[in-house]
């Protein structure tokens, strides 16, 4: 299956960093994690497939086994979705039918001040940790006798994690462009394993989160780059509930994100069920609302060579 003509091209990090004069985040711990992802994880994306394929009684049993394994490996949430052409980046091609989508929570205690070195390192820590989950889950699928591919949370994926996670029941799409999970809020990362192993898919949810976003504007107010919109935009396509999507202006967000520790302000300030997810369950003393460092935004950029799929509107 190939990516649909209306799919976005894959986000080209190098081009975007080049458009702002290079990556401007200088944190030794973050660089070390990036190095470990490339050196210790990328070479483990492939492996032997067991020729003795395990037969499950039905697809529900197969899905149950996969989900239990994902949780055992450290996933906070896991769901399964059937892949459609619109879930594949333009120009990419895959043979797999299903995505096993996994999510892992980031720690609230690390987002007490945003953007900060601590919040930036936490994003990368979870990219690495969730990377281990998808790599080991992929090996489990191969051990069961089925082929699969790793779609690393930070890597150059063929598939779009967010629409797949929405179909797999992770939550609803927030005004800030990230998924809001009913209990994890927006503070988590996504990765996937894609496979043709016959599986039972999950259902998307309608918990009223998207409707809540229509009356709340907290992320928009706190976005220092003014990249989060007031209104939904028909140009951005529909979410899984049929709503026009909110269109975050990537050309405004990225320069701020790349200069200020991956920004992330829009996540910890998200108001939906804030008291429920914005706390630490391990006895750490935390504030209910983070300290926010808002600087003047750099000029917007729109690299021609690899435009992100969101066109600039109402700028």
Map the footprint of ligand SF4 across residues 16-35, applying CB under 6 A: none
Determine, following the binding rule CB under 6 A, whether residue 217 of this chain makes contact with ligand SF4.
yes
Determine, following the binding rule CB under 6 A, whether residue 259 of this chain makes contact with ligand SF4.
no
What angle, rounded to 10 degrees, do the helices at 59-73 and 117-143 form? 140
Q: Supply the minimum distance, in Å, between the C-beta of residue 256 and ligand SF4.
A: 4
Determine, following the binding rule CB under 6 A, whether residue 111 of this chain makes contact with ligand SF4.
no
- Of 41-49, 132-140, 172-180, 285-293, the segment contacting ligand SF4 by CB under 6 A is 172-180
Determine, following the binding rule CB under 6 A, whether residue 270 of this chain makes contact with ligand SF4.
yes
Q: Supply the minimum distance, in Å, between the C-beta of residue 89 and ligand SF4.
A: 21
Determine, following the binding rule CB under 6 A, whether residue 247 of this chain makes contact with ligand SF4.
no
- Of 7-15, 79-87, 90-98, 221-229, the segment contacting ligand SF4 by CB under 6 A is 221-229
With CB under 6 A as the rule, give the number of residues binding ligand SF4.
25
Q: How far apart are CA 157 and CA 151, in angstroms?
A: 5
Q: How far apart are CA 86 and CA 276, in angstroms?
A: 33
Q: Contacts for 115-119 with beta carbons within 8 Å, 24 or more apart? A: 115/260, 115/261, 115/262, 115/263, 115/264, 115/265, 115/293, 116/261, 116/293, 117/27, 117/29, 117/30, 117/261, 119/261, 119/262, 119/264, 119/268
- Of 5-13, 142-150, 154-162, 169-177, the segment contacting ligand SF4 by CB under 6 A is 169-177
* Site residues, ligand SF4 (CB under 6 A): 174-176, 212-213, 216-219, 223-225, 227-228, 248, 253, 256-257, 263-266, 270-272
């Amino acid at each position: 299956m190939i990516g649909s003509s209306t799919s976005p091209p894959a986000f080209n990090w190098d081009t975007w960093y080049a458009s702002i004069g290079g990556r401007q985040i200088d944190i030794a711990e973050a660089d070390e994690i990036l190095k470990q992802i490339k050196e210790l994880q990328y070479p483990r994306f492939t492996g032997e497939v067991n020729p003795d394929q395990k037969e499950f009684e039905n697809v529900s049993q197969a899905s149950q086994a996969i989900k239990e394994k994902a949780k055992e490996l450290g996933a906070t949430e896991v769901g399964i979705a059937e892949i459609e052409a619109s879930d594949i980046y333009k120009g990419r091609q895959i043979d797999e039918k299903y995505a096993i989508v996994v999510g892992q929570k980031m720690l609230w205690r690390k987002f007490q001040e945003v953007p900060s070195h601590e919040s930036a390192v936490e994003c990368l820590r979870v990219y690495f940790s969730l990377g281990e989950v998808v790599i080991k889950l992929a090996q489990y699928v191969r051990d069961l006798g089925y082929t699969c591919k790793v779609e690393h949370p930070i890597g150059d994926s063929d598939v779009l994690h967010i629409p797949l996670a929405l179909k797999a029941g992770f939550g609803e799409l927030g005004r800030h462009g990230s998924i809001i999970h009913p209990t994890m809020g927006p503070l988590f990362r996504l990765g996937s394993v894609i496979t043709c192993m016959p599986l039972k898919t999950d259902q998307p949810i309608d918990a009223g989160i998207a409707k809540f976003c229509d009356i709340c504007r907290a992320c928009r107010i706190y976005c220092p780059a003014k990249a989060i919109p007031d209104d939904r935009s028909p140009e951005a396509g529909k979410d899984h509930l049929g709503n026009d999507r909110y269109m975050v202006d990537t050309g405004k967000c990225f320069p701020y994100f790349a200069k200020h520790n991956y920004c992330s302000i829009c996540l910890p300030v998200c108001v939906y069920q804030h008291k429920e997810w914005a706390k630490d369950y391990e006895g750490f003393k935390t504030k209910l609302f983070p300290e926010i460092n808002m600087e003047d935004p750099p000029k917007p950029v729109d690299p021609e060579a690899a435009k992100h799929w969101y066109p600039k509107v109402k700028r």
